[in-house]
Amino acid sequence: MNDVLKIVIADDNQIAVDMMKNRIEENDRYKVVGVAKDEEDEIKLINEIKPDLVITDIRKKNGWTGIDIIKQFENIENKPIFFVISACTENYIAEIRKLKIQYYLNKPYYFDELMRILNYIYSEVYPKAILNIKNEIKENKYTSLWSKIRSILKRIWIEYLIFYSYSLSVSSYKSSNVISKARQNPFIS
């Protein structure tokens, strides 16, 4: 797929970044091309990589805010889309609106919410790709996926049946073996 949304994540919480990155990259429409731990990294990555989207936290360690970063790119042509995720988004809502930031999410959040917003952003950036996906679904190109799923389920079912029949044969063998040994034992009448 050529239409991949290039994303930079800017957050100093490494655990949150790792979880977000793993979840985002489960979908092949998204690629995290950089992770910034502070405002200097964030500015450098945006200038060098030219991502489509920057997911940024508001609070930064060195006194800057995500709002300050967004203002740095306010008047630049072909600037990335900014998506603010922060525990203190509510405190900055007026500034977020003033900067015309459409996408923001309060921490803590559910990953489904994050993915819903990313899917919306993707549809805005690559509307033709969304149409192609819809057309492929209409043309049943995903029937091969469904047949793969059915094949896997069939194999699981067959393995279950083999295991079950093996269990039955082993248990019947053991019980018949015990009975025949009991008949051979002279101490049992």
The whole-model pTM stands at 0.65
pLDDT tier at 140, thresholds 50, 70, 90: low
User: Which tops the pLDDT comparison, 111 or 59?
Assistant: 111
CB 74 within 8 A of CB 56: no
- Report the distance separating Cα 161 and Cα 85, nearest Å: 49
Of 62, 13, 52, which is closest to residue 35 (Cα–Cα)? 13
Q: Is the pLDDT of residue 72 over 70?
A: yes
Query: Which pair of structure tokens corresponds to residue 183?
Result: 């008949």
HSE-CB of 68 using CA atoms within 13 angstroms: 14
Question: What are phi and psi for residue 82, nearest 5 degrees?
Answer: -105, 135
Long-range Cβ contacts of 169-176 (<8 Å, 24+ apart): none
Give the pairing type, strands 53-56 and 103-106: unpaired
Under DSSP, the state recorded for 84 is: E
- pLDDT of res. 187: 47
Q: Is the pLDDT of residue 23 over 80?
A: yes
Q: Is the pLDDT of residue 27 over 80?
A: yes
Span 42-71, pLDDT tens digits:
999 999 999 999 999 877 666 777 778 888
Query: Which pair of structure tokens corresponds to residue 48?
Result: 């060098």
